[in-house]
Structures are given as structure tokens and as C-alpha cells.
């Protein structure tokens, strides 16, 4: 019987035997390699996938194989013992952070992978904060223990200092760097020893109570500390601890499980996935310490009618509830919607109600996913992550429920794009396909946006970074057969007002017959950086009829998106509509829309406008001899150096720098460091552009 058949036949496991987990990490920490070992050791695959050979199970896209990185999240199902583990492998590159965000939204637990030499890196912090946002319990795996400069202890310190977490070591490494050969389990006080000469796959290992002399003292110290931390969480165990009584491994596991689920501690393991050492204890930890749907008990949402809080029990005999968290346009099956089923049961061929869109959707087929492979099923149950074929209008973040008992689950929020570029098709036939292709891609990826610049007629696409847009253009060519010409990347500037002001907008038009009349007063106020846009209706006494208020708001939003200085969208401002007048006959929606637009544009110009630019948080890991060169180059790019960290034989330079100055920066760093520097960038915040540069940009626009 194949592994696929085993999974299909054993899908009816009880809810307490299900784990929905994600594998998350900074790029190059070994996340996909770890996932491949998990699939191999659990029997899901019969050959260990290798990133360099481009034959991994989870990185199935051609772009992933060519670049050796994960671009899209991939789901699969496997078994460890009698426990079913649903896994989502996520990207580590910051340009594809939306894949991590939406995956963590629907997962119950996560395995965080660290590079033992690099410790906690920038994207490690980003995905950790994302997991914190959704209160996802996690365990840590310190990978690459065989690497030069690897340090289990330094990584533990990093977790405390940079992630503000309480790590609890569950193993002690035996050997380090090239001599790393095993771990000691601190719960059972047994050593796991791998011998490369006997079994290169890492399946076979020696399990012994004989702890090597070199680590005996450290093992005892860590073991005693672990017992103390766990005992403090439970009165009964604490009583035994003070009396000097032995606490059973089963009791320790039960207490630790509660601590992990309550986010009080994070168990930490170590090994080297590439050399097939230390992954099996992580699988045991997933089963022992990460929550099942039963542990989480309920999910909270809101009643779509009353707006009050509403809950669903995470069980099969509740009303059906699911969250659509990913859309994929598959060449074989069409639109594929990934959904996490929280409660109830779903049958192929049935109808569900999309509460977000307020419409029925038919589920024609149900699929169990293994990366880009699929297996058709007839029923899906609470606790499962499945693919749905049939929904036409369902988008990422939509809630699907039973129509008779509706609930809206918390949506998924995504960051705004920071970089844009113009594209145009090379042939006239492709022009017709362009808008359709862009719509498909934006349906899949919420951080990808496309729009038409009405002044130039150009199509502008926006995303999270140069690599993100490069992949989008490559997919258009390969998957949709479109060849496009690409312009130079453009920074996503924003505009904001400098001070508060009151503004009037009046639109009157008389041209025979019925005229047009719209009149409004706005108060325009700056908000704190990053607070976005707010529109407040403060009209009293009916000075503007209620039916025209939305029209004023539409006009304000339209003017906001066009900007008032250089044509970039306005942000970080609050607009309050507080008064106006109307005409019984001539007032109309269009008149008030134009009045609202005029009031914002004129008011913003009178208030004074500042241009904002995206600032990137930059980290460059370089050999010590290149530190001065990189610092000098960053300073020349208007970078502000924040400090340096020593990691092994390298130095990590931290800085903030404007995105506009970082075009082609990856290539520059490699050139300046003989190919040995590793740059990392992620969007941080917006800051005002210096006045002299604004004037220069104005002149370039003339």
C-alpha cells in the first residue's frame, strides 16, 4: 500500500491525533531541507530530496528549483506513529512574507529553524513576530550544528535577547562543528548517536543511556534546570520537587505540553538536517508538545449581523466553519482554494456560504494536497487543511460557513507593496491577455498589485521587492505565455500633510436644465507615521443628507490616491467631514464626490505636503576585512548605521537605508566582498525625503 493510500485510509483519526504545523525560518537556515527529512523519516517520500539537485518534494515550481529557494507555501500530510501531521512549508525570503502570514493564520503550531552559526537573523525575528500575532505555539530546531562556528549556546542567548522568548533546551549536542555526532535527550537522559559510516540516511541511530563523558556535566546542569522550570508550572510537581521525589517523564511531558500551548516556554532541539542528524527528536516533540485542535478548544469570530463576539468549538459535530487562506491557479484543475476546516464536515458537491462575500459557493471537488500533487477525497473534516475546487468568488481571508449559522473569522492582513515597475506586452495579442493575467496573479498573491496609470497609459505592477516582481514577470512568461517589456523599478513613495487645516470644496455647474451642486467642509489632520488613512463622518443636523456622505468619501479617497504634490498616494492623515450644504434639486452623488475631491486636494496643498520614502532595514554579513568597505558604501547611500554584531568569523552590519538608494544592492555587495558578503533587506518604515531631493524630483517631473 502506498503512503498516499495510507493517508487516505487513516484520515479519520481522532482530533487529538492531528497536528497542523508550519516550518518557518530565515532564508538559508535549512527549512526546506528539514521538511524533506521529516517527509523521508515519516515514510511520506522514499528518497531524500536535495535542493541543489532540484528534486525536493515541497519546492516544486521551476523558479524554486532554479533559484534553490522557497517561493510559495506548500502543504502536505504525513504520519509519525499514529499521529497525523499536516505540514505547511513556508518561504524564508522576505519578498514572500505573505505566504508565511497566511499560513501562520491557520496553523496550530510551528517549528522554527535557526542556523547554528548565524543564530537569530532578521527574517527569524519577522516570522517570530508573525507567529506571536496569531499566538502560535512553537518549538525551535537549531540546525547546521556541523557548520564551522556553530554554537547551540549562542543561539539560545539570541532567542532570549532578540526574540524576548524563554527557550528551554531539551537536548544537549554531542560534539560541535565537524565532530557533531548526536544529542542527549534531557527528558529521558538518553543519548542519540548517529554514525555516518553505518547509515548515511540517518534513520538508524544508537539510543543509549551511556552519556559521553565530554557532556556529562553540562547534561546534568541542563537537566536539573529543565526539571525546575517545568515543576514551577504545576503545584503538584513543585511539591514533589521540593520533597526531592522523582518526577516521571510522563508527568514532565504533560506539564511541559501545557506550558508550550500557553506560550510560556519554547522547547529547543538541535541537529543537522543535511547530515540527517537530530530530526527524529523534533518529530517526537511535535507530537508531544504542539497542540491538537482539541487543545485549542475554540476559535473566536464575530456575528455578521450583530457584530458581537461568537465562538466555534473545534470539533466535528459543530456547524461547518472554514477559512480560505490561499488561492492557487492550477493549469489542471483551475482555481484551487486552500482552506483550513475548523469545525464540522464538508462534502464534495455541497454548497457553503461565503460570509465575507454574502453569497453561496458550490464545492464541486475536495483535494488532499502534497505540494503540487493532489488526491481526490469525498469528505473533509474538522482539523484538516484541504484544497477546494468550485468556489468562484472566494478570496484569501474569506470565511466559509453553514448558511444557517454564520460567523466571520479574523481576516488576514498583508503589508503594502514598496516597489513598482512598468510593464507592457511586446505584441498586440498579448495586450488582451495582460489584464486577465494580472488579475489571476493578484488573486493568488495579496501583496501583488496591478493598476493602470491613466496619465501615461502604462500598466504598473507593485510588490514587496525586486525578486518578488522578477518572479511575477517570469511566471507571466512561463505559465501564461506572455512576453512583456519591463521598465526600471520605481520606489513606492507616499505623500502626507504637515499640519492640520480646514478646507472647503464647492462644485456648482449650471448648463441648462438640471444643474449640479455639492458643497462640503473637511478638517484634514496628520496622523502618526504608519497609521494610514481615516475618514470620519461628523456631519450633524442634516447639513448634508446621509445618502451623499459616501459620495464625499469616495471623492476624498480618489483624491488621496492621486496625491497632491508629485502624484503619489496620500497617507498618515485623518479627514473629518463636518459640514456642508446641498440643493434640493441639483445635488447629486457626482457633485458631492467632486466637492470632496476638491476639498482634499486644495486643503492638502495649503497644509503643506511632505514626501515620504520607504526605509529598508539592511543587514549585511561580511568577513571582517570587508566591514569598512560595506559601511562606507552604505553611508554613501544615505544609510544610517545602527551597529555591528560579531558572529563567528563574520560581522553583521545593521543599518537603515532608503529603498531608492538600494537598486541592485545585492550585486554591489557581492562585488565589493569578492562574493562573500550576504545582504538582507526588509521594509521597515517611511521617513520624509530631504527637501533638496524633493526639489530635484519636481524638476525631473517638469
**Structural domain boundaries in the chain:** 3-181+268-295, 298-409, 422-489, 495-607, 611-701
CATH architecture of 298-409: Beta Barrel (2.40)
> Does domain 495-607 correspond to CATH entry 3.30.230.10?
yes
Residue 1's pLDDT is what?
A: 41
Helices (H), 244-398: 249-261, 279-289, 293-296
Task: Give 55-92 pLDDT, tens digit per residue.
Answer: 555 555 666 666 666 667 778 888 998 999 998 888 76
422-489 matches 3-181+268-295 in CATH topology: no
> Does domain 422-489 correspond to CATH entry 3.40.50.1360?
no
What CATH number labels 611-701? 3.30.70.240
User: 117 CB contacts (<8 Å, ≥6 apart)?
Assistant: 144, 147, 148, 149, 150, 151, 647, 648
Q: Which three cell numbers stand for residue 567?
A: 502624484
- CA 537 vs CA 534, 574, 579: distances in Å: 10, 11, 9
Q: pLDDT class for 6, splitting at 50, 70, 90?
A: very low
Task: Give 485-522 pLDDT, tens digit per residue.
Answer: 888 778 889 999 999 999 999 999 876 667 899 999 99
User: 348 CB contacts (<8 Å, ≥6 apart)?
Assistant: 363, 364, 365, 366, 377, 378, 379
Label residue 337 left, alpha or beta by phi (over 0 means left) and psi (-120 to 50 means alpha). Answer: beta
Residue 13's pLDDT is what?
A: 72
Q: What gap in Å lies between CA 317 and CA 271, rounded to an integer? A: 41
What CATH number labels 3-181+268-295? 3.40.50.300
Given a contact cutoff of 8 angstroms between Cβ atoms, the answer to whether 520 and 602 are in contact is: no
Task: Give 646-678 pLDDT, tens digit per residue.
Answer: 877 788 899 999 988 988 787 888 889 887 888
Strands 609-623 and 190-193: what pairing? unpaired
Q: What gap in Å lies between CA 637 and CA 640, rounded to an integer? A: 9
Coil, strand or helix at 213? helix
Task: Give 479-493 pLDDT, tens digit per residue.
Answer: 877 888 888 778 889
Task: Give 625-652 pLDDT, tens digit per residue.
Answer: 889 999 999 999 999 999 998 877 788 8
Order of strands, sheet of 171-174, starting from the edge strand that comes earlier in the sequence: 171-174, 182-185, 190-193, 206-208
Task: Give 422-475 pLDDT, tens digit per residue.
Answer: 888 887 777 778 888 888 888 888 888 888 776 566 788 888 888 888 888 888
- Quote the distance between the C-alpha of residue 643 and its chain's center: 27
Residue 444's pLDDT is what?
A: 86
Output the known binding site. 25-32, 89-93, 143-146
Residue closest to 572 by CA, chosen among 533, 610, 525, 535: 533
Given a contact cutoff of 8 angstroms between Cβ atoms, the answer to whether 557 and 547 are in contact is: no
Question: Packing angle between helix 665-672 and helix 627-636, nearest 10 degrees?
Answer: 150
Output the known binding site for GTP. 25-32, 89-93, 143-146
Q: Is the pLDDT of residue 566 over 60?
A: yes
Residue 256's pLDDT is what?
A: 95
CA atoms within 13 A on the CB side of 58: 29
SS3 content of the chain, % helix, strand, coil (to 5): 30, 35, 35
The one-character DSSP state at 655 is E
Residue 210's pLDDT is what?
A: 87
Q: Is the pLDDT of residue 560 over 70?
A: yes
Q: Is the pLDDT of residue 5 over 60?
A: no
Residue closest to 5 by CA, chosen among 72, 63, 74, 79: 79
Amino acid at each position: 500500500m502506498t503512503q498516499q493510500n495510507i493517508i487516505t485510509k487513516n484520515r479519520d483519526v481522532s482530533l487529538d491525533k492531528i497536528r497542523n504545523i508550519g516550518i518557518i525560518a530565515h532564508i538559508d537556515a535549512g527549512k526546506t531541507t528539514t521538511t524533506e527529512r521529516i517527509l523521508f523519516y515519516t515514510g511520506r517520500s522514499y528518497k531524500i530530496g536535495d535542493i541543489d539537485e532540484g528534486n525536493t518534494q515541497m519546492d516544486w515550481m521551476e523558479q524554486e528549483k532554479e533559484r534553490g529557494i522557497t517561493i510559495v507555501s506548500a502543504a502536505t500530510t504525513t504520519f509519525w506513529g499514529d499521529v497525523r501531521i499536516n505540514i505547511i512549508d513556508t518561504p524564508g525570503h522576505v519578498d514572500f512574507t505573505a505566504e508565511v502570514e497566511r499560513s501562520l493564520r491557520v496553523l496550530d503550531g510551528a517549528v522554527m529553524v535557526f542556523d547554528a552559526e548565524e543564530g537569530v537573523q532578521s527574517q527569524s525575528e519577522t516570522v517570530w513576530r508573525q507567529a506571536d500575532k496569531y499566538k502560535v505555539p512553537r518549538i525551535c530546531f537549531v540546525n547546521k550544528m556541523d557548520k564551522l562556528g556553530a554554537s547551540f549556546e549562542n543561539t539560545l542567548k539570541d532567542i532570549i535577547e532578540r526574540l524576548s522568548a524563554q527557550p528551554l533546551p531539551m537536548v544537549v549536542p554531542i560534539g560541535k562543528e565537524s565532530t557533531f555526532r548526536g544529542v542527549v535527550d534531557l527528558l529521558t537522559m538518553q543519548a542519540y548517536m548517529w554514525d555516518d559510516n553505518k547509515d548515511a540516511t540517518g534513520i538508524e541511530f544508537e539510543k543509549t543511556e551511556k552519556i559521553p563523558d565530554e557532556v556529562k556535566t553540562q547534561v546534568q546542569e541542563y537537566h536539573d534546570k529543565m526539571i525546575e522550570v517545568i515543576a514551577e508550572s504545576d503545584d503538584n510537581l513543585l511539591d514533589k520537587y521540593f520533597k526531592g521525589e522523582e518526577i516521571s517523564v510522563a508527568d514532565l511531558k504533560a506539564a511541559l505540553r501545557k506550558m508550550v500551548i500557553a506560550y510560556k516556554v519554547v522547547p529547543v532541539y538541535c541537529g543537522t538536517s543535511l547530515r540527517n542528524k537530530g530530526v527524529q527528536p523534533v518529530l517526537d516533540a511535535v507530537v508531544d508538545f504542539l497542540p491538537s485542535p482539541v487543545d485549542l478548544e475554540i476559535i473566536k469570530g464575530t456575528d455578521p449581523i450583530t457584530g458581537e463576539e461568537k465562538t466555534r468549538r473545534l470539533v466535528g459535530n459543530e456547524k461547518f466553519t472554514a477559512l480560505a487562506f490561499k488561492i492557487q491557479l492550477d493549469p489542471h484543475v483551475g482555481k484551487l482554494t486552500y482552506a483550513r476546516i475548523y469545525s464540522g464536515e464538508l462534502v464534495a458537491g455541497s454548497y457553503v456560504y461565503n460570509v465575507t462575500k454574502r453569497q453561496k459557493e458550490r464545492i464541486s471537488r475536495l483535494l488532499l494536497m502534497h505540494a503540487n500533487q493532489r488526491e481526490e477525497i469525498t469528505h473533509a473534516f474538522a482539523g484538516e487543511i484541504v484544497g477546494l475546487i468550485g468556489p468562484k468568488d472566494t478570496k484569501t481571508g474569506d470565511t466559509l460557513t453553514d448558511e444557517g449559522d454564520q460567523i466571520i473569522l479574523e481576516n488576514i492582513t498583508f503589508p503594502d507593496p514598496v516597489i513598482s515597475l512598468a510593464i507592457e506586452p511586446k505584441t498586440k495579442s498579448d495586450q488582451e491577455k495582460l489584464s486577465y493575467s494580472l488579475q489571476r496573479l493578484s488573486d493568488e498573491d495579496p501583496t501583488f498589485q496591478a493598476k493602470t496609470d491613466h496619465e501615461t497609459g502604462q500598466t504598473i505592477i507593485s510588490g514587496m521587492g525586486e525578486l518578488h516582481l522578477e518572479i511575477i514577470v517570469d511566471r507571466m512568461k512561463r505559465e501564461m505565455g506572455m512576453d512583456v517589456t519591463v521598465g526600471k523599478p520605481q520606489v513606492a513613495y507616499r505623500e502626507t500633510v504637515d499640519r492640520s487645516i480646514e478646507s472647503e470644496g464647492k462644485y456648482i455647474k449650471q448648463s441648462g436644465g438640471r444643474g449640479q451642486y455639492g458643497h462640503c467642509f473637511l478638517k484634514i489632520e496628520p496622523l502618526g507615521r504608519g497609521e494610514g488613512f481615516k475618514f470620519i463622518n461628523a456631519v450633524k443636523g442634516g447639513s448634508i443628507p446621509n445618502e451623499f456622505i459616501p459620495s464625499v468619501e469616495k471623492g476624498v479617497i480618489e483624491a488621496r490616491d492621486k496625491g497632491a504634490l508629485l502624484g503619489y498616494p496620500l497617507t498618515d492623515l485623518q479627514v473629518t467631514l463636518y459640514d456642508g450644504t446641498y440643493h434640493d434639486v441639483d445635488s447629486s452623488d457626482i457633485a458631492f464626490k467632486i466637492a470632496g475631491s476638491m476639498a482634499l486636494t486644495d486643503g492638502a496643498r495649503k497644509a503643506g505636503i511632505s514626501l515620504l520614502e520607504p526605509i529598508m532595514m539592511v543587514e549585511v554579513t561580511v568577513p571582517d576585512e570587508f566591514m569598512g568597505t560595506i559601511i562606507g558604501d552604505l553611508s554613501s547611500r544615505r544609510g544610517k548605521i545602527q551597529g555591528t554584531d560579531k558572529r563567528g568569523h563574520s560581522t553583521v552590519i545593521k543599518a537603515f537605508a532608503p529603498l531608492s538608494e538600494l537598486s541592485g544592492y545585492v550585486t554591489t555587495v557581492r562585488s565589493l566582498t569578492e562574493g562573500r558578503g550576504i545582504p538582507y533587506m526588509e521594509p521597515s518604515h517611511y521617513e520624509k525625503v530631504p527637501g533638496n531631493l524633493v526639489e530635484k524630483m519636481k524638476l525631473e517631473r517638469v
